[in-house]
Structure 1
Amino acid sequence: MIRLVFFLLLLAAIAFGVSWLADRPGEIALVWEGWRVETTVPVALAVIAVVAGAMLLLWRLLSLLVRSPKIIAAFSRRRRREKGWNAVTRGLLAVGIGDNAAVRQARQEAARLLPHEPLTHLLTAQAAQLDGKHEVAVAAFRAMVDKPETRLLGLRGLHMEARKAGDKVAAYAIAEEAASAAPTLGWAADAVIEARCAGGDYAGARGVLERQMALKGIDKTQYRRRKAVLLAAEAVALEHSDPLVAREKAVEAVRLAPTLVPAAACAGRLLGAAGELRKAAKVVETAFAANPHPELADVEAYLRPGDAAQDRLKRIRTLVNRAPSHRESAIALARAAIDAHEFRQARLVLEPLLAEPSQRVCLLMAELEAAEHADIGKAREWTARAVRANRDPAWIADGVVSDRWAAVSPVSGKLDAFVWEVPPGVSATPILEHEAERVKAAIAAVRASEEAKAAVAAAEAAALAAAEAEAAALAPPKEEPKPAAVEPEPVAEPAAMAPPPPAAPSPAPATPKPEAGRRTSARPEPIVALPPLPDDPGPGPEAPDDPEAPGKKRRLMGL
């Protein structure tokens, strides 16, 4: 708009000047070499303007002729550069879509037109990576490292190639070099942190993180989370070897990230072992309220070693109040109730979960049936249902299911990669093993009880059989009576065959001699005369066995 205003003002000034000259034409006379030229002032000015324009045009033509070789060379270079840039653009786009043939063609054209351009080296390296030519890609990236403007890009390419080749030492060295050159470079700092975590150097990894934070290469929220993860990993590693240092690291990790499950679990165990039960319970309950996890429930239950099952159940009831509607709360409460033999409460807690039970719920029901009713059949039925039940969550990172949490992924080495979720495509999760062992123990206890009862019954039966056999061996055969109705005299045990009495025994009755012609009975009664026991007061007022001998008393043992 301003330019238009200036242009209109300029036109108005020119028009005013021309009008002013037209009103004052005047006369100009020129005499030169016998020539006399007379004209007005406006005409003279117009002639001068035309001559000046012609001379300027002639000068431009002469200058163009003189500079034509340079102009032609510059035009050729510019055209060549444009073609080269077009080739690089087409090549990078082909890399993005994975068209190997187009990438190779564009790389050849770019290398011919722009052999020294950094992006040409990048395109060459990308084409080599697509073709699987590791050596060519490494050579291209090394050529980029030699130039200051592409040094970091070349280092990143070399780092990626080293990781693909499995050379972790070279990848770590390249990442260290890149991090030293540019501490705020995210990929370099992450690679160094991951490499040091893989080697167990959590303190060195925190040093890199602190330097990155000091140079504003990371935001504060991400910094706190990553530092908490590193502190938690270090605390878990030192939990058994140096509990004091581990407790300090775990508490600091909880301060930075109160909902980080591994940090809260480790801090709870160490604080509980140190006797700080209230502080440990607060840490565990805060983390459980945000992320209900079975490890936190185990820590809360066994916060104080040696507690009875009822005490553990009481603490679990307090814990589950922080997340009463969560599935993990019901499972934790049911497990504690089974341990405390509160089977009715365990059934009430598990009942809402039986519509779609998970594997752990099925195994808890199996344990409940075995512990409460000693029903191995139902326990096995629930165990079989666990095979087809829904899967339980587990620690998973980059598709790998792990039985424990770690600071970095075992596949990609990424920091804080583990998440607690249901892994797809697996038959069972590692947390299931603990529940299965509990079911095995419950079934084994039932079997042990049954075997003990069977052993007692067998022992009793064997004792009875032995007693019967001994009694049969000691009893002499009785003679059959005569056909005449004569009452047979009782046959007593010979004194020589009777066992010696332990105390002063009463004299054994004499054995009468069998009369001649008397026949022995076919089925004699096993009547055995035994000596009195040490505390036996003597014969009681029992009825006489032999009506013919009313004064004789016998002590009988019938089995």
Structure 2
Amino acid sequence: MVRILFFILLVLALALGFAWLADRPGELSLIWQGQLIEMSLMRAATILISLFAAILIVAWLIRTLWLSPHTVTRYFRARKRDRGYQALSTGLIAAGAGDAALARKMAGRTRGLISADQEPLIHLLEAQTALIEGKYDDARKKFELMADDPETRELGLRGLYLEAKRLGANEAARQYAERAAEKAPHLSWATLATLDQRSQAGQWDEAIRLLDQSRTANVLDKKEANRKKAVLLTARATGKLEADPKAARDDALAALKLDDRLVPAALTAAKALFREDNLRKGASVLEKVWKQDPHPELARLYVRARGGDSAVDRLKRAKRLETLRGNNAVSLATVAEAALEARELALARSKAEAAARLAPSESIFLLIADIEEADTGDEGRIRHWMAQALRSPRDPAWTADGVTSPTWLPVSPVSGRLDAFEWKEPPSPLAGTTEEGRVSVDEAIRSLPPVAPEHPVAVREAPATPKAEENGPVLEAERPIPTPTAITVPERKETAAPPSKSEGTAAEDEEAAPFFGRPPDDPGVRDGAVEDGNKASFRLF
């Protein structure tokens, strides 16, 4: 572009010069060797410029002829180099696609066309080809050569790091990552690998320092860096909680400033504040996080923040959490547990059933079973809810890489990855489990077996048939269904379903089908349901 512009300007200057001479005519006289030479000024200028152009053309021809051998050599060299780069490109594509034969062929062709000193990518192609062919020792040697070369140092260190991780040599991998992070702090893989390894070793101070350096170098974005630093501060605070509650409190509060939804940081900060007898501030920390993300561990710590509280006081604190985040399954379950401890069974049952309607889970049905045991004590109804718990989704837990932990951990014990644990439903231990057979809570409540009477019931059975008496005692499954003629049930003071609702015709019993599609396997033991004189004898053999 610059040359074209220069040429246009030159032509314009010549045109302007000739136009200026044409407007100012003149004669040029020259005496040379006794001869007088006269011509116009325009003709003289034209001859001078033509002579100058001829000299330039002759000089260009002489230079071209003089440099022609070098030009021809350079042409063939460039052609050879282009063929080599074409082979190198084809080889790298083949190596990426997993074609070991073509990659090896292109690597040999590239070696013959391009010198490895001129193009370091040849080492990469050979290393990748060796990895595809399973020649890991050759690949490691190539990576070591690249690590010694300043141009390919980072590439070689990454290859050595990946090979060390593949072999399980964590110490060697740590050294390679640290070397790469020291030479090139802008490499995200080196920074993250070093950060994970220092976190695995519990070197929280060094990990935080390295993370700050990576934030300065813009290796991580602000949100990710803040999250990781909050996790590191929480881990350090958890380690200091027993020995130095004040330092643990400062670290945990600093972590909450970086990530206000980090539940472990809120738990650690609240525990440290409770140990300093600062109950109000600790409760405010838990309430702030609870409003954003209700968590069972937050509720458990909040309700039992003060050791000397009675069950009624704990129920009041649970109701306080429900007012902060209403219509939530965790809030309702928290109130139900506290109400069960305070023996307010009606409130506990209503809250537990409401929580089960919002988010059915294993723990909520077990809680309803506990409420049933405390309220009615009916074994059939208790087993009904326990069976429903077996069919319900598992409760969320701290899960990372398919492993669950009873408490939050900053690093995964499987992969060593920082901030790997999440509060979610763990994987099912039974392969192929589905949601078939699960019913709604309302249907489960409708299919409950009737409440067993707490007092003895007098039942008079019809006499056995002669055929049954001739064959001797029979199993109870073969015995005819007794026909009750007189039933006397004392009045119950507690709130329960009246016996008349459960005593109907066979058609009414079929309409209220249990949640399994049939009556429970074991409806429970009914005390005194049969008189002593009418007890059935069993023939086992």
Q: TM-score, normalised by structure 2?
A: 0.68
Q: CA deviation digits over 1:57-93, x for unaligned, max 9?
A: 3433332333233223322332233333333333444
**Aligned counterparts of 1:7 and 1:326: Cα–Cα separation in 2:** 83
AA in 2 matched with 1:206: I
CA contact (8 A) 2:84 2:110 kept: yes
Q: Per-residue deviation at 1:191?
A: 1.9
How far the C-alpha of 1:264 sits from its partner, in A, is 1.0
Matches within 5 A, 1:160-179: 160-179=162-181
> How much has 1:171 moved relative to structure 2?
0.9
Q: Could you say which residue in structure 1 is the equivalent of 2:370?
A: 367
Please say if residues 127 and 139 of structure 2, whose CA atoms lie closer than 8 Å, have aligned partners that are also in contact.
yes
Gaps of 5+ in 2: 432-454, 456-541
Equivalence for 1:139: 141
Whether the aligned pair in 2 keeps the contact of 1:313 and 1:337 (CA below 8 Å) is yes
Distance 2:396 2:134 in 1: 38
1:312-327 → structure 2 map (5 Å cutoff):
312-327=314-329
Does the C-alpha gap of structure 1 residues 52 and 253 become closer, same or farther in structure 2, counting only changes over 3 Å?
Answer: closer
CA contact (8 A) 1:30 1:38 kept: no
Matched to 2:366, the amino acid is: L
- Cα distance, 1:241 vs. partner? 5.6
Cα pair 2:126 2:142 within 8 Å, conserved: yes
1:492 corresponds to? none
Tell me what 1:272 maps to: 274
C-alpha spacing 1:333/1:76, structure 2 compared with 1 (3 Å): farther
1:217-275 Cα shifts (integer Å, max 9, x gaps): 55555444323211211232344465555444334433443321111112223322432
Q: Which residue of 2 aligns with 1:378?
A: 381
Matched position secondary structure for 2:399: strand
Paired residue type of 1:395:
W
- In the aligned structure 1, how far is the partner of 2:390 from the partner of 2:36? 123
- Which residue identity lines up with residue 108 of structure 2 in the other structure? Q
Is 1:110 aligned to 2:110, yes or no?
Answer: yes
How far, CA to CA, are the matches of 1:62 and 1:425 in structure 2?
A: 86
Show the 5 A alignment for 1:34-73. 52-73=52-73
Q: Do residues 159 (structure 1) and 176 (structure 2) align?
A: no
1:259 aligns with 2:256: no
Q: Within 2, Cα distance between the matches of 1:173 and 1:51? A: 73
Q: Which residues in structure 2 correspond to 1:74-223 (within 5 Å)?
A: 74-114=74-114, 115-116=116-117, 117-213=119-215, 217-218=219-220, 221-223=223-225
The structural deviation recorded for 1:169 is: 0.3
- Matched AA of 2:70: K
Kindly provide the CA deviation profile for residues 475-521 of structure 1, in whole angstroms up to 9, marking residues without a partner as x: xxxxxxxxxxxxxxxxxxxxxxxxxxxxxxxxxxxxxxxxxxxxxxx
User: Which amino acid in 2 is paired with 1:261?
Assistant: V
| Pair 1:393–1:154, CA change in 2 (3 A) | same
Q: Map residues 447-466 of structure 1 onto 2, 5 A cutoff.
A: none
When residues 109 and 302 of structure 1 are mapped into structure 2, their CA distance, relative to the original with a 3 A threshold, is farther
SS at match of 2:324: coil
Letter in 1 for 2:150: P
Cα distance in 2 for residues equivalent to 1:124 and 1:269: 57
Alpha-carbon distance in structure 2 between the residues aligned to 1:347 and 1:111? 79
Alignment of 1:360-439 (within 5 A): 360-423=363-426
Q: 1:219 to 1:11 in 2, by over 3 A?
A: same
Higher-Rg member (1/2): 1
Report if aligned partners of 2:200, 2:411 keep a CA contact under 8 Å in 1.
yes
Indicate if the aligned counterparts of 1:259 and 1:286 stay in contact, CA closer than 8 A. Answer: no
CA separation of 1:231/1:345 partners in 2, compared to 1, >3 Å: closer, same or farther? Answer: same
**Alpha-carbon distance, 1:325 to partner:** 2.7
Paired with 1:219 and 1:43, the residues of 2 have a C-alpha distance of 74
Cα 1:113/1:309, change in 2 over 3 Å: farther
Q: Deviations over 1:281-302 (max 9, x none)?
A: 1111111112211111111122
Contact 1:273/1:303 (<8 A) preserved: no
In the alignment, structure 1 residue 352 sits paired with structure 2 residue 354: yes
What CA distance in whole angstroms lies between the structure 2 residues aligned with 1:314 and 1:112? 84
- Structure-1-length-normalised TM-score: 0.66
User: 2-side partners of 1:43 and 1:272: how far apart?
Assistant: 107
Distance 1:389 1:193 in 2: 39
- Give the whole-Å Cα distance in 2 for the aligned partners of 1:150 and 1:372: 74
Provide closer, same or farther for how the CA distance between residues 19 and 399 of structure 1 changes in structure 2, counting only shifts above 3 A: farther
Q: Secondary structure of 2:409's partner? A: coil
Aligned partners of 1:395, 1:125: CA distance in 2, in Å?
Answer: 41
| Alignment-derived partner of residue 504 in structure 2 | none
- Partners of 1:242 and 1:167 in 2: CA distance: 36
Deviation at 1:170, TM superposition (A): 0.5
Q: What is the SS of the residue equivalent to 1:270?
A: helix
The residue identity in structure 1 corresponding to 2:65 is: L
In the superposition, relative to structure 1, how do residues 277 and 41 fare at CA in structure 2: closer, same or farther (>3 Å)?
Answer: closer
Does the 8 Å contact 1:172/1:191 carry over to 2?
yes
Question: Are the counterparts in 1 of residues 328 and 355 from structure 2 also a CA contact under 8 Å?
Answer: no
Bigger mean CA offset, 147-156 vs 91-100: 91-100
Report what 1:444 is aligned to: none
Aligned residue for 1:321, secondary structure, equals helix
RCO higher in 1 or 2 (8 Å CA, sep ≥ 6)?
A: 2
Distance 1:200 1:280 in 2: 27
Pair 1:215–1:81, CA change in 2 (3 A) = same
Find the aligned partners of 1:334 and 1:170 in 2 and give their Cα distance. 53
Distance in 2, Cα, partners of 1:351 & 1:232:
36
Give the Cα–Cα distance (whole angstroms) in 2 for the partners of residues 324 and 367 of structure 1. Answer: 24
Residue 306 of structure 2 corresponds to which residue in structure 1? Answer: 304
CA distance, structure 2, for counterparts of residue 309 and residue 226 of structure 1: 39
Q: In percent, how many aligned pairs have the same letter?
A: 38
RMSD over aligned CA atoms reads 3.6
1:408 maps to amino acid: V
Q: Distance in 2 between matches of 1:321 and 1:178?
A: 53
CA–CA separation in structure 2 for the residues paired with 1:63 and 1:306:
103
**Cα offset for 1:51?**
5.3
| Residues 96, 290 of structure 1: alpha-carbon distance in 2 compared, 3 angstrom cutoff | farther
Asked whether 1:283 is paired with 2:285, we answer yes
Q: Distance in 1 between matches of 2:383 and 2:112?
A: 75
- Number of residue equivalences: 428
CA distance in 1, matches of 2:197, 2:49: 79
1:184–1:49: structure 2 CA closer, same or farther, 3 Å change rule?
A: closer
